[in-house]
């Protein structure tokens, strides 16, 4: 055997040994797959992987509800959990890698877990990965070496700020105490990484205001979803990219931006309502009662006013309802906000005596509300099922209910009729 042949054999053995070690490692590392099967989580123990899976699914659900989109994911997201190593302090806590391979697009999020790990950072990076998948979902054939466009920081911060349970009061306070207000164009060009702590808080407040402004517009959620899907072709003019998807910005975008900031500053004790609270409040507003002299107040619906001319008292009530709906839009759940905005437009038209196609718009709105209520109910059922059957530790939301059920079962006396005795005996046999 020549020296060259021996050298090649040695290299082949080395490659095979490395490959065998990788295969063995892949076989020994445990993994968990999230309920939607989009997130494949490696490393750590089953409890931590389950917690990460729950956070990932909740983050995606919040985004899909905000955009009113179905879960049509294509590219899976690999999440690799690794412990912090004392000899490698330079490893970042989160590293999102997005690349084109021979098998298609690859999305991998490496998370370095430590005792002081910031969960909000994990949520932020999971959302970044979810948005990246949405941006490049339909672009499977990307040339090697291409530069990938990441979702803008304002989009990530704005979506997180509108998620249920977020502390939006702090963001409104930051807007209120800020001295000079940044223009929309300057804000869109800001870089989050170079800001200090106070600057980042203000940036998050502006992001919250911008995303709220975008989804408040006509067909706002659908337009925002389309904007995300077109980000792979984004230009160096972020404001122009927004105007391409949101026609209401083609006029005076800066005036609309400043008006949105002013409305948020004027809110006291700002707190978004839940979907159920928003539905209840909207129902209360739409059930108008018209007071007339010497007559008791009577309820009047918008569908009735869409069929006939409104009286002077009814026009006054419509104007007041339009004002109330304007205030309601700012505090309503983001899912219902575009619907409330359209009700406001309808009320303004009825107050001016314009009834053309109003009945059809009201019917469509009612159908949309029913669909949304059913979808939100399905989401609540799914999250409750997931907590009850998949999570290792519960949130405590059902503790009182389960305790009440146990107590009620204990308080019910046993029956002694023959059928009950027979069923109790069968139950004891199955339990033993």
Exposed, middle or buried, 23 (CB in 10 Å: 0-12/13-18/19+)? exposed
Q: At residue 368, does pLDDT exceed 50? A: yes
Q: Token digits for 373? A: 């209520």
Q: Token digits for 224? A: 């925002």
Q: Token digits for 23? A: 């295969």
Calculate the CA dihedral of residues 77, 81, 85, 89 and round it to 10 degrees: 40
Query: Mean pLDDT, to the nearest integer, of 235-244?
Result: 92
Residue 99's pLDDT band (cuts 50, 70, 90): confident
Q: Token digits for 142? A: 């990307």
Report the mean per-residue pLDDT for the chain.
Answer: 78
Q: At residue 205, does pLDDT exceed 70? A: yes
Phi-psi region of 243 (alpha: psi -120 to 50; beta: other; left: phi over 0): alpha
CATH 1.25.40 assigned to 28-84+91-151? no
Q: What pLDDT score does 24 carry?
A: 41
Residue 123 near residue 109 (C-beta atoms within 8 A):
no
Query: Mean pLDDT, to the nearest integer, of 182-203?
Result: 90
Q: What pLDDT score does 261 carry?
A: 87
Q: Token digits for 235? A: 């230009």
Would you mind telling me the total number of residues written for the chain in this entry? 432
- Please state, in angstroms and rounded to a whole number, the distance separating the CA atoms of residues 123 and 367: 34
Segments of the chain assigned to CATH 3.40.30:
28-84+91-151
Residue 225's pLDDT band (cuts 50, 70, 90): very high
Residue 85 near residue 114 (C-beta atoms within 8 A):
no
Residue 200's pLDDT band (cuts 50, 70, 90): very high
Q: In terms of DSSP bridges, do strands 39-42 and 31-33 run parallel, antiparallel, or are they unpaired?
A: antiparallel
Q: What pLDDT score does 296 carry?
A: 65
Q: What pLDDT score does 391 carry?
A: 59
Q: At residue 160, does pLDDT exceed 90? A: yes
How many CA atoms lie within 13 Å of 258's alpha carbon, on the beta-carbon side?
A: 10
Condensed to tens digits (0 to 9), the pLDDT of residues 374-405 reads: 887 777 666 666 666 665 555 555 555 445 54
Query: Mean pLDDT, to the nearest integer, of 320-331?
Result: 75
Q: At residue 188, does pLDDT exceed 80? A: yes
Residue 230 or 102, more confident:
230
Q: What pLDDT score does 27 carry?
A: 45
pTM assigned to the model? 0.60
Q: What pLDDT score does 379 carry?
A: 74
């Amino acid at each position: 055997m020549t020296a060259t042949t021996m050298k090649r054999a040695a290299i082949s053995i080395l490659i095979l040994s490395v490959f065998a070690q990788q295969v063995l490692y892949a076989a020994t590392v445990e993994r968990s797959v999230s309920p939607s099967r989009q997130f494949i989580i490696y490393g750590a123990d089953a409890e931590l992987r389950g917690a990460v899976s729950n956070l990932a699914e909740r983050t995606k659900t919040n985004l899909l509800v905000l955009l009113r989109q179905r879960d049509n994911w294509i590219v899976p997201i690999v999440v690799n959990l690794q412990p912090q190593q004392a000899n490698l302090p330079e490893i970042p806590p989160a590293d999102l890698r997005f690349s084109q391979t021979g098998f298609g697009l690859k999305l991998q999020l490496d998370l370095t877990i430590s005792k002081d790990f910031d969960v909000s950072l994990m949520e932020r990076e999971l959302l970044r990965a979810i948005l990246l998948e949405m941006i490049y979902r339909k672009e499977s054939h990307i040339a090697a070496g291409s530069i990938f466009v990441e979702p803008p920081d304002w989009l990530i911060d704005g979506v997180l700020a509108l998620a249920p349970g977020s502390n939006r009061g702090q963001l409104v306070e930051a807007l209120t105490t800020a001295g000079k207000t940044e223009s929309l164009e300057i804000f869109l060009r800001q870089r989050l990484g170079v800001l200090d702590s106070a600057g980042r808080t203000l940036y998050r407040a502006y992001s919250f205001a911008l995303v709220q402004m975008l989804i408040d517009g006509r067909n706002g959620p659908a337009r925002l979803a389309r904007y995300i899907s077109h980000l792979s072709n984004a230009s160096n003019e972020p404001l122009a990219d927004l105007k391409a998807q949101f026609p209401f910005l083609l006029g005076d975008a800066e005036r609309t931006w400043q008006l949105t900031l002013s409305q948020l500053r004027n809110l006291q004790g700002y707190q978004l309502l839940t979907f159920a609270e928003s539905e209840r409040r909207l129902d209360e507003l739409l059930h108008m009662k018209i007071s007339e002299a010497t007559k008791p107040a009577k309820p009047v619906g918008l569908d009735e006013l869409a069929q006939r001319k409104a009286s002077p008292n009814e026009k006054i009530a419509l104007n007041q309802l339009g004002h109330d709906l304007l205030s309601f839009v700012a505090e309503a759940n983001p899912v219902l906000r575009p619907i409330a905005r359209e009700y406001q437009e309808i009320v303004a038209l009825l107050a001016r005596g314009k009834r053309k196609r109003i009945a059809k718009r009201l019917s469509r709105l009612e159908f949309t509300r029913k669909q949304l209520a059913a979808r939100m109910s399905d989401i609540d059922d799914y999250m409750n099922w997931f907590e009850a059957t998949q999570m290792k530790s519960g949130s405590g939301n059902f503790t009182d209910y389960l305790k009440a059920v146990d107590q009620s079962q204990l308080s019910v006396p046993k029956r002694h009729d023959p059928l009950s005795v027979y069923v109790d005996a069968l139950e004891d046999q199955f339990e033993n």
